[in-house]
Amino acid sequence: MKIVSVEAIPVNLPFHEPVSDAWGVYASSNHGIVVIRGDSGEYGVGEIALAWFGGAHALCKEVNDLWAEKLVGMRVSDLSLVTSLLDSFCSFSKRHLLAKAGVEMALWDLLGKSLGVPVYELLGGKVRGQIALTGGISMGTVEHMTASAVGKVSEGFQELKLKIGLDEDKDWAALHSIRRAIPDSVRIRVDVNMAWQDVKKAKRIIDRMTTLGVSIVEQPLHSERLSDLAWLRTNIDAILLIDEGIWDVRDARKHLEMQAADMLHVYISEAGGIAASKKIFELASLYEMDCTIGSMPEGKIGAAASAHVGAAMLNLSSHASDIRGFTVYREDVVNEELVISAGSLIVPDRPGLGVTIDFAQLARMRVDQ
């Protein structure tokens, strides 16, 4: 089967509740929906997702104006050749990996649908049928964070992820309150998002937090401080999980060689797609290291792609992954629901990624450029 068309369609996915950052308040998030059609009449779908608001639509334009015509006529099954071409489009900036991921997801989806098998079968087969997820706790008042934590536990989440790093005293108060409010069996991790500047201070704070059962610390220092991260890893009792430092396989190799991580947090979008994510998992396995999976946050298409990768990777950690970003959106463009049961994401078993497009909905959510 040959590719007959490639289109990246800019959309806005509305949030259930407005999201804020240092630059403003947002009612929706920009995404790109990639549709690749084959000469058999079938189509595959992918998603361009960018955590930093605004960039996904510009990537759609680049795919449509510069990439699409070069892909038309290629065989869908020639994934290695197509991936090599896509890699050549990403040499200027890492942000192009997000566009590559969207296009490549659509190719895997189309190939799986044409063969009548789920994508995880193309990745080596299903190791697990569900993936444990973190219950995310956003920054807020101590009372709000504690209530959120209790709610997540009642929903079945067995590992909570707290965003911290701006105020040590408040972080401690929130952690202490949450630990007292939930069962000891529920794991707690903290995500610092590179906020801490001093490695010795980071160790002191982590040592204090581990007394309350914090088992994982995610990206405590800037991603470029590999030597400090390596020192910290050997001097704390918690697992050091690297997030912002891991985009592609090159980033993974640097952290592995420097022994600057206990676990890697892999993003299907940042890595540049499904095959690239698989490479990071396989590289980590050579160092006997497990990985977890993050979220940009993608909608349901990207989440489905992440689920198929997680289903097939032997060294997906028993610690929870973050494939829950799709839950923040009020609307999406796919027909199917992704199911979270007792704190775990159920891996879709339908052919391809297991999702299909509601094209009428896609037309309504499309944004003119």
Contact 163, 157 (CB under 8 A): no
pLDDT along the chain (369 residues), means of 10: 97 88 76 97 96 80 96 96 94 89 98 98 98 94 96 97 94 97 97 95 97 96 97 98 95 98 97 97 98 96 98 98 96 98 97 98 91
CA 207 from chain centre, in angstroms, equals 28
Residue 92 has a pLDDT of 75
Q: How far apart are CA 37 and CA 70, in angstroms?
A: 14
pTM, entire model = 0.95
* DSSP collapsed to 3 states, 153-187: HHCCCCEEEEECCCCHHHHHHHHHHHHHHCCCCCE
CA distances, 60 to each of 8, 66, 93, 121 (Å): 5, 10, 15, 29
Q: How far apart are CA 46 and CA 28, in angstroms?
A: 19
Q: How far apart are CA 351 and CA 33, in angstroms?
A: 19
Residue 18 has a pLDDT of 83
Residue 21 has a pLDDT of 56
Question: Across 39-102, where does the E strand assignment appear?
Answer: 43-49
| Angle 284-294-286 from CA coordinates, rounded to 5° | 5
Q: Which two tokens stand for residue 243?
A: 């997030």
Residue 155 has a pLDDT of 96
The count of other CB atoms within 10 Å of the CB of residue 253 is 15
Task: List b or e across 329-341, with b for residues whose CB sees 16 or more CB atoms inside 10 angstroms.
Answer: bebbbbeeebebe
What domains are defined for the chain?
3-117+358-365 (3.30.390.10), 121-346 (3.20.20.120)
Residue 23 has a pLDDT of 58
Contact 217, 241 (CB under 8 A): yes
Instruction: Classify strands 24-38 and 43-49 as parallel, antiparallel or unpaired.
Output: antiparallel
Contact 207, 232 (CB under 8 A): no
Q: What are phi and psi of 38, to 5 degrees?
A: -105, 165
